[in-house]
Amino acid sequence: MLDGLIVGFVAESDAKLVVSALRAAKVSGSNGVSSHLEIAHIPLSCCGYGGAFPGLYLFSTSSRMMRPVIQQQSRITENIGSLEQAFMSIRCPDGRQKPTCIAEHAHEEIGPGTILSVVASLTPWSDFNQSPRNMYQCQMAKQTMGMPLHSFCYRPDTKIYRLHTPQRPVAMTGQYDRYQMDNYPLGTNAVVAVLAHTGYDMEDAMIVNKGAMERGLGHATLYKTETVTLVAGSDENFGQCNMIQQKLGSPIAFTEKHPFDPDIDADGAPRPGSMKQAGSILCSVVDRSTGRVRLHKIKGSDHVIIDRVSISSGKSSKGQTETKMSVTVRCDRNPIIGDKFSSRHGQKGVLSFLCPEEDLPYIEKSGSRPDILINPHAFPSRMTIGMLLESMASKAGALDGRFIDASPFQAANDEAHIISPTREYGEMLRKHGYNYSGSETMVNGLTGERFDVDIFVGLVYYQRLRHMVSDKFQVRSLGPNNPLTQQPIKGRKAGGGIRFGEMERDALIAHGSSYLIHDRLHACSDRHVTSLCTYCGSLLAPGANIQMAAAHQVHASGAGNGQGNLHSFDDIFPGKVSCRVCNTGTGVHNVALPFVFKYLAAELAAMNIRIGLKVGDERV
């Protein structure tokens, strides 16, 4: 079958011969067979792994995915397609002299590294790591800040990050240069010491040298673009002079809440380079026909600098001409406590403490201090040996003044002559007068005492990830409440709280901390004091029935028949609360309860369901 059309018939017994002849013609280019022909032979199912549709399928159309492999006999590179590779046996050179599989191989992979994707092939010594760690790194490499592009000055991206001090890693794979990653670096080389120190590096937290941070480690900028659209069909315009507005003393545009902003230019747009506080005015738009001014405020809680302003216009999907102004703002995002970092081995961690440089442990011999301290417990269970190798090798490379090839599967290429990286870089370290195993004698910067054990110190390429506390922290004391239930609203943006659910409640019950649970679920939520009639148990019947009280008063004083004495003191005085069902206020007491409960009672009352509360008197 050629490109989906039946062109001929081949007996199953001859199919193999036809395939090998076609492959030979394909690689030699003879008989007009294209080198991009896909020859998929699906054998009859009796041979073990046949498909449902045995046959010989040839594809010659364009835009098919193909990849190169080596024909084992002729040693010629052949491009194979996605269907045929499923029915071929392709050997992977894994560095062993004897093939581990007895199956026949007609083809061979170009190298063992071809199993790796672009992102995966950037992990140094990934063959020394536990495989899930390599996958974690692939996820995290996409979240790094680094240098994502070079066209910052032309692109109005909604949100994009940029690292100020990206570096080329000392230890990198062969693919790093092949993909020209130097144009898009992902992180910074950091001096990393592996020790449990002060307890601030527990559970994947990491201590960062404050001095190193202040010298630029991990400094980054966040670019955001806000778009202001003019109302379609109206006579709105950018470009009304604010100065004139100010001179005219326009009462609409600039109020006490939004005072005149000198950084808004005469055209109503912000001035590039000016600094803006959170919530200040971004630009002003004027309706020329009415003279009404609309002010746009800056979103978010960041202190920003106006980077760029551009105005563009065009036809919208409805055919109307739309004019938009894109304002790109930038703000500094230098590392603070709670920001996320990771090495290239799936070892992510949170910055827990920016340690003053003078308090950090230092290397006894050189006096130098590490940039990052991580906990040794990060290694045994994760088995990221590649990171230890990278640490040692980068240190050796830095001392030797050269970059290190950290490609995976190096042993596969030249097994006889390859020596283990530990030995190779251990010797290199020793040559430079360092410890063979990469450890150093260190001195505690707080006490001045020497550590009993040597500390493993090396260079690790660290990536700063784009998950930052300043985008995530949520805190609230007093704030907006839901008008219906009077409970605090949810959502970080709206200034709401974090849900305190049943499981949290259970935890507090288990701890016996009933005052805390009362505080969280009642006092800090929708505590409400209302009247309750203890006679009929109704929440809704008691009310400040002024009319009734007034009527009683007339009755008591006007008639003068003495019946007024039957009524309570509360009833007679207006403004006092009485129950409309029991016609008396003697049973009415103030109770504190969640407002939603009163709301529930009201909702049920609307459906003719009455809630009655049995209230005992505490004083009895």
Residues near Zn ion (CB under 5 A):
533, 535-536, 579, 581-582
Calculate the alpha carbon distances from 568 to 250, 356, 405, 485 in Å: 60, 72, 95, 34
Rg (CA), the chain: 38
486 vs 583 by CB, closer to Zn ion = 583
135 vs 581 by CB, closer to Zn ion = 581
Q: Of 237, 224, 308, 312, whose CA–CA distance to 268 is shortest?
A: 237
CB of 529 to Zn ion, least distance (A): 18
260 vs 535 by CB, closer to Zn ion = 535
15 vs 536 by CB, closer to Zn ion = 536
222 vs 541 by CB, closer to Zn ion = 541
CB atoms < 10 A from the CB of 389, how many?
25
Per-residue H/E/C for 498-551: CCCCHHHHHHHHHHCCHHHHHHHHHHCCCEEEEEEECCCCCCCCEECCHHHHHH
CB of 297 to Zn ion, least distance (A): 51
Alpha carbon 280 to its chain centroid, in Å, reads 27
The b-or-e profile of 338-373 (16+ CB within 10 A means b, else e) is: ebbbbbbbbbbbbbbbbbebebbbbbeeeeebbbbb
72 vs 584 by CB, closer to Zn ion = 584
Q: Of 448, 449, 445, whose CA–CA distance to 359 is shortest?
A: 445
CB of 592 to Zn ion, least distance (A): 19
Give residue for tokens 């109020």.
255
Amino acid, res. 105: H
460 vs 533 by CB, closer to Zn ion = 533
Residues 355, 208 contacting (CB under 8 angstroms): yes
CB of 538 to Zn ion, least distance (A): 5
22 vs 582 by CB, closer to Zn ion = 582
Rounded CA separation 465/463 (Å): 6
Q: For 71, what's the count of Cα atoms within 13 Å in the CB-facing half-sphere?
A: 15
DSSP tag of 114: G
